[in-house]
Chains A and B, each alone.
Chain A
Amino acid sequence: MKSIFQKIIVGLVLLPFTALADWGLNLTRGATTISNEIYDLHMLSLWIVTIIGIVVFGIMFWSIFHHRKSKGVKPATFSHSTTVEVIWTIIPLAIIISLAVPATSLLIKMHDTSEAQITLKATGYQWKWKYDYLDEDLTIYSALDEKSSEASQRDSGINPMEVDNYLLDVDNLIVLPINTKIRILTTANDVIHAWWVPALGWKRDAIPGFINDNWAVIEKPGIYRGQCAEICGKGHGYMPIVVKAVPMDEYKIWVAEMKAEQEAKKNTSGMVLTMEELMTKGETVYKAQCLMCHQANGQGLKGAFPALAGSPMATEPAQRLGHIKQILNGKGIMPAYGEQLSDVEIAAVTTYERNAWGNDTGDIVQAKEVAEARTKK
């Protein structure tokens, strides 16, 4: 208990100094025509309800101040008035019709995904996003950035105020061209997620087995951040979205670079690394992919995610192949990494898991072994 109170008191003292934070009060205009129209409709409805509120509560307070017993008012006895009741049924009806008309045309516009020039597919995973550029044969996996990930651990000792874009930064951002109609498909691999970048003006659920489509024409270059908006398990707060919007020619250069980079990564089965290199690389991969469930100390979470430290899977020689194969193919709620990670990355993370946290098996797994495991039944 003491520590809770200490934290609260420290927080109270620091309240006036939290200068890093801003006092965002309202929706922002965003970066697309649609997001601007949504902003306008939001403001229209906000003003309408504000005015109704001022009028209604104003009359009510006037009545509260004047029609009170302490002022010697004798109560009136009227109990209905058809005229008044008809009026206050019709006026609200008229107001909601005036809101429904612009809402209808905007909604129809938002549903028109035809004639898109580029199609991007976003697939939600627990807890990262996979992006497929369907016209380019390019796939990007995008997860929470390492700095945020470390700082967000319980009692990490790192002040989130000192982490740039805390919880809103990713390891691999995605690039999209401006002034281009982009069709964005959303789906999921495990549970329901929702893809939301406020600057684009909408969010849409990503549902396993189904594909939703939406579109956006980004007008201003810039970096736009968003988050998963549908509860998807313990990592729900930790799967941000970062979109960088650039002119078309820059976008094309980026695509070419990414493809070249991925081509280079594809064939790593011949790489032979030292124990030290494998452990360093393995730790990086572990932090990015495994830590969320199995925890930094390899202890997992009792009842939900098994411990790796001291587990037979990560220590017994007989299970070495099974270990590699489970990382490749997944099991139960554990996702498969075979597609996302290269041979050398899987080799490194397997080596790391078999030697970290006192597992100390001394096992060295090389990329070649992973490549072979991929073909074994």
Chain B
Amino acid sequence: MSTLTQANDHDHDHKPTGLKRWFFSTNHKDIGTLYLIFALTMFFVGGSMAMIIRAELFQPGLQFVDPQFYNSMVTVHALIMIFGAVMPAGVGLANWMIPLMIGAPDMALPRMNNMSFWILPFAFALLISTLFMEGGGPAGGWTMYPPLVLQTGAAFPFLILAVHFLGISSIMGAINIIVTVFNMRAPGMTLMKMPLFVWTWVITSFLLVASLPVLAGGVTMLLTDKYFGTSFFNAAGGGDPVLFQHIFWFFGHPEVYILALPAFGIVSQIIPAFARKPLFGYASMVYATASIAILSFFVWAHHMFTVGLPVKGELFFMYATMLIAVPTGVKVFNWMATMWKGSMTFETPMLFSIAFVILFTIGGFSGLMLGITPVDFQYHDTYFVVAHFHYVLLTGAVFALMGAVYYWLPKWTGYMYDEKLGQIHFWLSTITANILFFPQHFLGLAGMPRRIPDYNVQFADFNMISSIGGFAYGISQLLFVYIVIKCVLGGKKAKALSWEGAKGLEWTVPSPAPHHTFETPPKLTKAMLEH
């Protein structure tokens, strides 16, 4: 193409190239891609830390790492997986899909979108660099409880700054989503017509905006306690170490739903598509999501049942926690009813979604058990808890995210992924993840505390099984990378409507989706607004 034609190029699909395209991008699709690549990279960084943890726990005795380094692996693994893998993957999907799903040309605040992504690599460079500092990386757990976290060496201010960056990035991302959804829907796309994925992301964004500033406040108080002589959390100065836990979990519990709600949205898109049947109980799904989000601000102290709360406090938080089972149950039943009398096929996205429903529910069951305060006095801080949150986060959130990638990959790349390999990846992941995490229930009940580098020999067998599952799960994920790269490079051409039963505006644009879409709002027909 000559310079002359380029200057007069009115092709809607022109895009900048190279550095300019990726570093200065304000395009929701490119930024979405950046987020997804970043999340996958962090998934492997955090995953390799999990491999170190499982290698050390493979046998009793200390074989590979020192206890201090082990603790920093536990800490940084959690921070990376939560803030670096699951959250950015969710935001990446939101960036890519929300404008396509609501018929908007782009996100409402494209420059801010660029900034909220580009903060992340710097924040994680800071965080990971702490592992090489004097005194090692942060090692007090991702929950950063004082006074222990105040014993962190040179890494401490870097940890706080990294958390601030992550918070700022997420808040900007959330504001962008809220503004986009409330202002840029195509005419006719009323709130109660929006795809459930969009709904779950709007609600998630409100959770982010409301909870992250609280975390920012908490970690700033840690900073002033360490360097500026305040005593927010120092009992000797009139403060209270437990205050931090209240602040942290006021953020931390909504955070759990920040990770889980987008997964609910994804599964609510995929199951109807492959059951070829409308989502059952759309309105109740929206209300259930909203109730879970609201309740999530009233249950934080169930993470702290053992700190010595007054009995009335413990009762309140127990009841509120158990109540969350109701809307969560509604969602699971709705997914079931969507499948009921459908005409199901089981491509990889559907397989991941079904696995999500079952395994997330198992995590929900252990969650209900953990919510019963007197019994929690036994479960708290054991491997039972580790099993619980990995069921909801790995076989829950991560499985849904992988399902989403398989579901939308044809739309992103223009090619169908290799279905056979996808299914192999699914079965490997599901089997190994269960070998990895199911035995941890037994370990916890038998009395193994979490966050220990070494253990009594009575826990040896299940730890070894768990480690074998862990290594196998880790290796299986390389297959996922191969499948994605293979799909990007080519394959069977994808149609605009890549899946027979899929509904929604994103399937009305060609595959791959052009660089710019919906520059003029689409005219919505009734059929386009079906869920």
Contact = CB atoms under 8 A, between A and B. Distances in A.
A226 B382 CA distance: 12
B343 A74 contact: yes
Interface in B270-290: 275-284
Contacts of B315: 104, 107
B336 interface: yes
B61 A156 contact: yes
Contacts of A108: 311
A262 to B, nearest CB: 28
B453 interface: yes
B326 A93 contact: yes
B277 A92 contact: no
Nearest to B367: A49
A220 to B, nearest CB: 17
Contacts of B307: 205, 207, 212
Contact of B151 (A8, A100, A198, A333): A333
Interface stretch (B119-127, B221-229, B457-465, B476-484): B457-465
Residue among A158, A159, A160 with the highest chain B CB neighbour number at 10 A: A160
B62 A154 contact: yes
Contact of B345 (A38, A69, A107): A69
A211 to B, nearest CB: 8
B66 interface: yes
A161 B306 contact: no
A160 B276 CA distance: 57
Interface stretch (A114-122, A186-194, A335-343, A344-352): A186-194
B354 interface: yes
B330 A77 contact: no
B18 interface: no
Contacts of B375: 38, 41-42, 45, 103
B74 to A, nearest CB: 8
A38 B380 CA distance: 13
A155 B63 contact: yes
Given A84-B337, A152-B61, A208-B147, A198 B136 contact: no
A256 to B, nearest CB: 33
B474 interface: no
Interface string A8-23: 1001100100101111
A232 interface: yes
A105 to B, nearest CB: 9
B446 A26 contact: yes
Given A68-B345, A202-B378, A237 B280 contact: no
Contacts of B369: 42, 45-46, 49
Interface in B79-100: none
B343 A75 contact: yes
A107 to B, nearest CB: 5
B399 interface: no
Interface in A124-181: 151-156, 158-161, 165-168
Interface in B302-356: 306-308, 311, 314-315, 318-319, 322-323, 325-326, 329-330, 332-333, 336-337, 339-346, 354
A210 B242 contact: yes
Interface residues of B, number: 110
A377 interface: no
B214 interface: no
Nearest to A53: B365
A100 to B, nearest CB: 6
Interface string A211-233: 01100000000000011111111
A212 to B, nearest CB: 4
A301 B361 CA distance: 44
B58 A7 contact: yes
Interface string B137-156: 00111000101100101100
A21 B318 contact: no
B24 interface: no
Contacts of B329: 88-89, 92
A24 B445 contact: yes
A103 B457 contact: no
Contact of B377 (A20, A23, A38, A158): A38
A48 to B, nearest CB: 8
B368 A160 contact: no
Contacts of B381: 194, 196, 203, 229-230
Contacts of A302: 134
A287 interface: no
Contact of B241 (A26, A38, A192): A192
B192 interface: no
A77 B308 contact: no
B332 to A, nearest CB: 7
Interface residues of A, dominant DSSP:
mixed
A80 B68 contact: no
B180 interface: no
Nearest to A127: B67
Contacts of A53: 361-362, 365
Interface residues of A, number: 109
A357 interface: no
Given A26-B446, A107-B311, A210-B308, A79 B278 contact: yes
A157 B344 CA distance: 57
B424 interface: no
Contacts of B308: 204-205, 207, 210, 212-213
B318 A237 contact: no
A234 interface: yes
B472 to A, nearest CB: 12
Residue among B61, B307, B318, B464 with the highest chain A CB neighbour number at 10 A: B61
Contacts of B55: 4, 8
A153 B326 contact: no
B71 interface: yes
B60 interface: yes
A318 interface: no
B373 interface: yes
Interface stretch (A57-65, A246-254, A271-279): A57-65
A92 B326 contact: yes
B455 interface: yes
A229 B451 CA distance: 9
B340 A304 contact: no
A209 B241 contact: yes
Contacts of B145: 192, 230-231
B147 A192 contact: yes
A196 to B, nearest CB: 7
A111 interface: yes
Contacts of B339: 60, 63-64, 67
A285 B460 CA distance: 31
Given A7-B58, A154-B66, A56 B332 contact: yes
A80 B135 contact: no
A70 interface: yes
Given A70-B345, A166-B457, A111 B311 contact: yes
17 contacts: A8-B58, A24-B445, A53-B361, A53-B365, A59-B336, A67-B339, A77-B277, A80-B283, A85-B330, A92-B325, A92-B326, A160-B457, A202-B306, A227-B449, A233-B139, A236-B67, A236-B452
Given A76-B342, A89-B330, 20 more contacts: A15-B464, A26-B442, A41-B374, A56-B333, A60-B357, A67-B339, A67-B343, A75-B343, A80-B280, A89-B329, A96-B323, A100-B372, A161-B460, A202-B378, A203-B377, A209-B234, A226-B447, A229-B380, A302-B134, A304-B136
Interface of B: 55, 58-68, 71, 74, 133-136, 139-141, 145, 147-148, 151, 153-154, 234-236, 240-242, 275-284, 306-308, 311, 314-315, 318-319, 322-323, 325-326, 329-330, 332-333, 336-337, 339-346, 354, 357-358, 361-362, 365-366, 368-369, 372-375, 377-378, 380-382, 442, 445-447, 449-462, 464, 468, 471, 501, 531
Considering the complex of A and B, which 9 residue pairs feature the smallest CB-CB distances, nearest first?
Answer: A209-B235, A24-B446, A237-B452, A303-B134, A303-B135, A212-B308, A49-B365, A202-B377, A76-B341
